[in-house]
Amino acid sequence: AVYHNIEFIERFPETTEAGQWRYTADGGWTGGFWAGLLWDLYERTGDPQFRDWAAAACRALESRAEDATTHDLGMIFTPSHAAGYRIMVDDYYRTTALRAADTLAARYNPQGRYIPAWGLASDPAQNNLTIIDTMMNLPLLWWAYSQSLGETYADAGVGHMITAARAHVRADGSTAQACELDRATGELIAQRTIQGYSDTSCWSRGQAWAIYGFALAGRRTSRAEVISAAEATSAYFLDHLPADGVPYWDFALPSTADEPKDSSAAAIAACGLLELAESHPDVTARPAYWNAALDILESLTANYLNRAGSGREGILLHGCAHRPAGQAVDEALIWGDYYYVEALLRLWQMQAAE
């Protein structure tokens, strides 16, 4: 019911405004989450309507596979086309996702060992900036390598994750959202923020991207420094949560009075914690991650879930897209919905496997 007004094919829900969905024509950086949510619902229910809507969303995203201006191809094509191939075993999805992986891998700077966030990779005005969000684009490269054994995918994924662990993760386990890097060496020039409170603060959704991204990279590569980054970032996140287990939009605010929470950060972090609960190499560490994820999901369900009669659209309320810019503050966010549902489905699958 919370998606009852969706125009499914030509536009993509991104964030709500006054509780009603706003759309993007090409999916922006979030279109893959809408397709992925539909695939998740099809897998769980078997309802062919969800399958058809997911397929239509994937077709509408197809042209983005050659978008050479953004790192977000992983977030767009992993939950849409890579997931579609796993579910439907239709080569259309595989070939489209591989094209997107080729475009993403081509962004990689092998000298600096990083993937720049935005703009053409050849543009010197933008090609020395990387952001922590990129960790959640790397799964497309892991998937492409599993499909083809193409070393280009592995080189880009491994190189970037090592640089990110070194440049973005601070000694206390907090993360800087953005890093300016030397193009030739990858050495850190400065830590910055875009959506956080300050260059030295810790934007909570960026911290969640780090937890999940490093956890997935640790499973894929077993690299000690990457597993350590997943441990450190998750410890910081959990140690700085307010009582209800859902963070404010930044962990280093001078005061939280009248400041919004970001439920999407909690949902993303829960997915990362469940990943660590399943794949951490130290099996004795896994229960603590499981319990932490469960606590967050219980709070999201009790306190942040949309309810019948609210008049608002979306599944997970009280998200915060971009507080400094005043964008989608205390609203539903498509990525919050996607990761909340993903976490619930993963929780159900892990419990069923016990």
Beta strands in the chain (DSSP E): 12-17, 20-24, 129-131, 178-181, 188-192, 319-322, 327-331
Position of tokens 């390598």? 145
- Bridge partners (DSSP) listed for residue 188: 181
Please pick, among 40, 133, 250, 262, the residue that the annotation labels catalytic: 133
204 is written with which tokens? 């909570």
7 is written with which tokens? 């125009």
- Bridge partners (DSSP) listed for residue 13: 23
Can you tell me the distance from the alpha carbon of 341 to that of 40, in angstroms, rounded to the nearest whole number? 8
If DSSP codes are grouped into helix, strand and coil, which group holds residue 202? coil
- Look at residues 321, 320, 315 and name the one whose alpha carbon lies nearest to residue 344: 315
Can you tell me the distance from the alpha carbon of 86 to that of 64, in angstroms, rounded to the nearest whole number? 20
If DSSP codes are grouped into helix, strand and coil, which group holds residue 41? helix
Can you tell me the distance from the alpha carbon of 235 to that of 273, in angstroms, rounded to the nearest whole number? 10
- Look at residues 166, 185, 186 and name the one whose alpha carbon lies nearest to residue 176: 166
To the query of whether residue 72 is one of the catalytic residues in this protein, the response is: yes
**Do 269 and 296 form a contact (C-beta atoms < 8 A)?**
yes
CA-CA distances (angstroms) from residue 56 to 8, 38, 80, 248, 319? Answer: 8, 10, 10, 35, 27
How large is the C-alpha radius of gyration of the chain? 19
Please pick, among 26, 47, 52, 72, the residue that the annotation labels catalytic: 72
Residues with catalytic annotation?
A: 72, 133
